[in-house]
């Protein structure tokens, strides 16, 4: 009877030791999972533009809500970022001497957007799309929309959009060539972010991916199939390098887990040996 209760007590002891330690530590685990990694988008004070226009009807009020859903709103680029003017003063909000530009004429649209996106402007102007500017060719708004500008993605190249002007065939080939690279970039980005959140120094990898992504994005405005294919191949080799670097980290971490498993098993073995030795003295 006494021996049984002693055994029971010993197992109770081990169980509580383990359970309490783990239970106590388990809290922050879920905290880490629940808390989004990025803080909320920077809140901008409401400008006078929004104050007036959100109350205006139709054409004058609609852009406010469209803008709110845009990537520009997400990144804190407000009306005056594109249209100019003084966002703090209602009297000067639309004063041309304060840099107010109003809405651009169709032919001026690429230059209008290109003030902040100079690289894209250059790529666009060099492409078949850009060369057709003012001769019925597409402007930025044709594909990206105006106020509700979304984060650029390959989805913008789609049959419905492209067939407004020409057949989808060539666009489809270009899109297919870029699809794999896009998936590659998204996958590597996710792995880098994952590592960053658990303390791996991903500074160099992040910068590498940023450069590759930028290079890839210049292709979006090129409509030359051969060039897109050639560039995509080069970008893929760059990405393969990043992929290899990530694999090295992943392998190192897998090795740590194996070493950890051995260490834990070894300590349990030691515990068993000491316990057996103790029993010889009971």
Partner 1 sequence: MALLKRVYDWIDLRIGAREIVKKELTGYLLPRNINEWYSLGSVLMVIFALQVLTGMLLMVYYVPDAEKAFRSVTFVMNELPYGWLIRLCHAVGSNMMVAVLILHMLSTLMMGSYKSPRELNWVSGFTLFALVQGISLTGYLLPWSQLSFWATTVATNSANAIPVVGPYLVEFLRGGKLVGPPTLGRFFAVHVAVLPVVIAAVIGAHLFLLKRTGISTPPFGSLETKKPWRPDSYSYQHHPGGIPFFPNYALQDLTSICVYFAIFLAVVFFLPNMLFTPDAFVPANAFKTPAHIKPEWYFLANYQTLKIFPSELLGLSIQAAAMTFLALLPFIDRSPERHPLKRPVFLACAIGGILLWIGLSVWGHFS
Partner 2 sequence: MENDGRRKFLGVCLAGATTVAVAAAAYPVLQYLAPRSGAQGADKLVFATTDIPEGEAKFFEYAGAAAVLVKTKSGNIAALSAVCTHLGCIVQWEKDKQDFICPCHGGLYSAEGAVTGGPPPKPLAKIPVSVAEGKITVG
Binding site for partner 2 (CB under 8 A): 263, 266-267, 269-270, 273-274, 276-277, 280
Sole binder of partner 1 in the list 20, 111, 211, 254 (CB under 8 A): 20
| Location of structure tokens 């690289």 | 119
**17 touching partner 1, by CB under 8 A:** yes
**277 touching partner 1, by CB under 8 A:** yes
Query: Which of 51-59, 169-177, 239-247, 264-272 is the region at the interface with partner 1 (rule: CB under 8 A)?
Result: 264-272
Out of partner 1, partner 2, none, what residue 61 binds, judged by CB under 5 to 8 A for its kind, is: none
Residue 35 vs 281, nearer CB to partner 2: 281
Within 242-261, which residues bind partner 1 (CB under 8 A)?
256-257, 259-261
**270 touching partner 1, by CB under 8 A:** yes
Whole-angstrom Cα distance, residue 159 to residue 77? Answer: 30
Within 164-203, which residues bind partner 1 (CB under 8 A)?
196-201
Closest distance to partner 1 from the beta carbon of 14 (Å): 6
Residue 21 vs 262, nearer CB to partner 2: 262
| Interface positions with partner 1 (CB under 8 A) | 2, 5, 9-10, 13-14, 16-18, 20-22, 24-32, 34-37, 39-40, 196-201, 256-257, 259-261, 263-264, 267-268, 270-271, 274-275, 277-278, 281-282
């Amino acid at each position: 009877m006494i021996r049984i209760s002693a055994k029971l007590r010993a197992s109770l002891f081990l169980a509580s030791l383990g359970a309490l330690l783990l239970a106590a530590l388990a809290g922050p685990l879920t905290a880490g999972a629940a808390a989004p990694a990025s803080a909320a988008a920077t809140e901008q004070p409401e400008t006078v533009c929004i104050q007036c226009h959100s109350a205006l009807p139709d054409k004058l009020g609609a852009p406010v809500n469209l803008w709110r859903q845009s990537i520009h709103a997400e990144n804190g680029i407000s009306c005056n970022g594109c249209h100019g003017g003084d966002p703090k003063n209602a009297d000067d909000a639309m004063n041309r001497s304060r840099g107010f530009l109003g809405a651009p004429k169709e032919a001026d649209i690429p230059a209008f957007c290109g003030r902040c996106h100079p690289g894209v402007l250059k790529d666009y102007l060099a492409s078949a799309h850009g060369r057709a500017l003012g001769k019925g060719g597409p402007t930025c708004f044709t594909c990206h929309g105006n106020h509700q500008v979304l984060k650029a993605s390959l989805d913008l190249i789609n049959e419905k959009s492209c067939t407004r002007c020409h057949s989808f065939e060539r666009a489809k080939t270009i899109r297919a060539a870029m699809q794999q690279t896009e998936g590659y970039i998204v996958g590597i980005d996710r792995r880098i972010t994952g590592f960053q959140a658990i303390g791996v120094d991903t500074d160099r990898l992040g910068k590498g991916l940023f450069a590759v992504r930028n290079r890839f994005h210049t292709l979006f405005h090129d409509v030359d199939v051969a060039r897109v294919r050639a560039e995509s191949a080069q970008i893929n080799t760059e990405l393969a390098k990043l992929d290899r670097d990530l694999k090295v980290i992943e392998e190192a971490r897998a090795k740590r887990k194996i070493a950890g498993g051995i260490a834990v098993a070894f300590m349990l073995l030691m515990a068993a040996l000491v316990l057996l030795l103790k029993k010889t003295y009971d």
